[in-house]
Structure 1
Amino acid sequence: MADYRPLLFSIAYGMTGSVGDAEDIVQDAFLSVTRAQQAGTEILELKAYLTTSVTRLGINYLGSARVRRESYVGEWLPEPVVVSADRPGPAEYAELADSLSMAFLVLLEALSPVERAVFLLREAFGYGYPDLAAAVGKSETNCRQIFARARKHLAAEGHEVDSPPPPARRAEGEELARRFFAATAGGDLDALLAMLAPEVVFHGDGGGKARAIGTSLTGLRRVAQLLIGGFRRTGRVGVSLQPALVNGRPGAVLSDSQGRVASVLELEIVDGAIRAVHSVSNPDKLSHLGPVSDVALLPGN
């Protein structure tokens, strides 16, 4: 069963946006297999059985998660999945589906649980309709209708689904990220403005527990000034930056002088420019990466 863990983790994470909950769902799926086999059930297609179990557990999870997110303070972003030289993480982190960027997971929040499952399995993992039907317990015809409805819903909201960048462009993205962080840390406004897309957006998630903007910020110069000001403030308290892949995209982990995680940044790069910056400083969403810093926490947290 261990061979399927990376795939199952990716599906569970795509459904929940939570690293810890995804790990719990995968473990529950493994337990369900063990119990079924102990009860004498013959499982002919183990991968399909596990995929179905994880998908349906994810659908059930979303029923309660939706209530919690309606009362969430500020903008909601998924927990970051980080892979770097000093934070390699479990194997399933490195094999996380490239399409599970923060932007994509936020986009999925507009869908119902079943729509999310169908759209995720089809769009991110390339599942055929027969497998989709088995995973969500619907007919193939129904799954086609659900997928079309989900895509139409997202289009009506003004969302676009971008394919993951090919390997050649990924190297270019990492180089752009390196220059972006150098310009930001160095306060080079002109260089930073040249790297940002005109429609750039900054998203911050502090969850009401850490410093973050209340709503997304737009405007080329406003975003650039926010970034430079933020890096200047964190630099004064000894925060340093380590490049990393975050949800399969170029990004960075910001840590304090004791090596504790203060925040994580992910860059959305399109056509050679940075179109969005996602910043997660909510301590509840960073604890899976190790000890969390208090430099960004609000009083009382």
Structure 2
Amino acid sequence: MCVSAEASAGTDAYGYRPLLFSVAYGMTGSVGDAEDLVQDAFLGLTRARRAGTVITDLKAYLTTAVTRLAINHLKSARVRRETYVGDWLPEPVVVAADGSGPAEHAELSDALSMAFLVLLEVLSPVERAVFVLREVFGHGYPEVARITGKSEANCRQIFARARKRVAPGARPAGPGPLPERRAEGARLADRFFAAAAGGDLDALLGMLAPDAVFQGDGGGKAQALAASVTEPRRIGRLLVGGFHRVRALGAVLEPAWVNGRPGGVTYDAEGRVASVVALDIADGAIRAVHAVSNPDKLAHLGPVSGIGLLPGR
């Protein structure tokens, strides 16, 4: 992290870092890119202040800066996304079960689940900005218009178009799950992982929604499925087999919160990160299992294991 960029921007600006990270991450789905965009926004603020610019609303200034930087970034990154090997999943934001982790990660909006971010991939950069600002962060149309540089009427049209393109079930229900719902989700996740580790296929099927989906992201560098799996029995067998291999390699899955949802991090025998699993839960059932093993998307969590890497990687 470039501390000097934040220090030069001033302590009054640093307080907005969690918000800026959430906006940038919601736009890009990348922890590394989000951190870079936040640093660029702070550097821009420093240059503006040194040039004598008077900034009356610091929050609005920084939110606008990071959003527009993210729009430009997505325009240049689109080609890389189109040539990505296998399913694409966001870089996981992990908070340990005890709540420890970077402050901006711990405060990330619970609305930015993996399932939600995956569905945002169908939107153009500007559509994504309008949708995220309005749907996730609750900005009014005048604010969205000012931040994106579009007219208010245009933003209304963009938002309506984006809502039609994003599946209705993917829209966030609010600022985050209630404490009791979080506790219920954690208990379900514990039972789910215990059933997978114990090879209890019937128990897994009892917890998976009929339309559940499993997605894996190896990025062509680590072992992962070539395509999503959508049949509950196949998902259950896949999980049982996966947990058996993990155990045989001396690896272990530790509970964690991933993008505001129950999940876990798999560590090898040396304590290195091998994969991250996130569960999407609704109405007491597991609707999606997302597993990230691409080493490029795990490096921000610590040393990465080589147990799942493909030959030559």
Specify the TM-score bucket, using the shorter chain as the normaliser.
Answer: over 0.9
Which of 217, 222, 235 is equivalent to 1:210? 222
Cα deviation 1:48-100 (Å, max 9, x = unaligned): 00000000000001011110011100000000000005782210000001100
**Aligned residues between the structures:** 299
| 8 Å contact from structure 2 (residues 95, 258) kept in 1 | yes
The CA deviation at 1:234 is: 1.3
1:192 — aligned with what? 204
1:134 — aligned with what? 146
Q: Distance in 2 between matches of 1:28 and 1:160?
A: 30
Q: Could you say what the CA RMSD is over the residues aligned between the two structures, in angstroms?
A: 1.2
Q: Distance in 2 between matches of 1:88 and 1:70?
A: 35
| 8 Å contact from structure 2 (residues 115, 170) kept in 1 | no
The CA deviation at 1:189 is: 1.0
Which of 227, 239, 251 is equivalent to 1:239? 251
Cα deviation 1:162-181 (Å, max 9, x = unaligned): 41433221110000001111
Q: 1:112 and 2:124 equivalent? A: yes
| 8 Å contact from structure 1 (residues 115, 147) kept in 2 | yes
Note the 1:22-171 alignment, pairs <5 A: 22-85=34-97, 88-155=100-167, 160-163=170-173, 164-171=176-183
The CA deviation at 1:215 is: 0.7
SS in 2 for 1:184: helix
Amino acid at match of 1:74: G
Q: Distance in 2 between matches of 1:272 and 1:86?
A: 23
Q: Distance in 2 between matches of 1:275 and 1:106?
A: 14
Residues 160 and 13 (structure 1), Cα distance of their counterparts in 2 relative to 1, 3 Å cut: closer
4+ residue runs of structure 1 moved beyond 4 angstroms? none
Q: Distance in 2 between matches of 1:87 and 1:253?
A: 14
Gaps of 5+ in 2: 1-12
Q: Distance in 1 between matches of 2:301 and 2:98?
A: 11
Matched residues, percent identical? 71
The CA deviation at 1:2 is: 1.2
| 8 Å contact from structure 2 (residues 222, 310) kept in 1 | yes
SS in 1 for 2:221: coil
2:240 — aligned with what? 228
Which of 14, 17, 20 is equivalent to 1:2? 14
Q: Distance in 2 between matches of 1:167 and 1:58?
A: 32
Q: Distance in 2 between matches of 1:175 and 1:159?
A: 23
SS in 2 for 1:64: helix
| 8 Å contact from structure 1 (residues 81, 247) kept in 2 | yes
Q: 1:248 and 2:260 equivalent? A: yes
Amino acid at match of 1:217: V
The CA deviation at 1:152 is: 1.5
| 8 Å contact from structure 1 (residues 202, 218) kept in 2 | yes
| 8 Å contact from structure 2 (residues 99, 106) kept in 1 | no
Q: Distance in 1 between matches of 2:71 and 2:159?
A: 15
Q: Distance in 1 between matches of 2:287 and 2:193?
A: 15
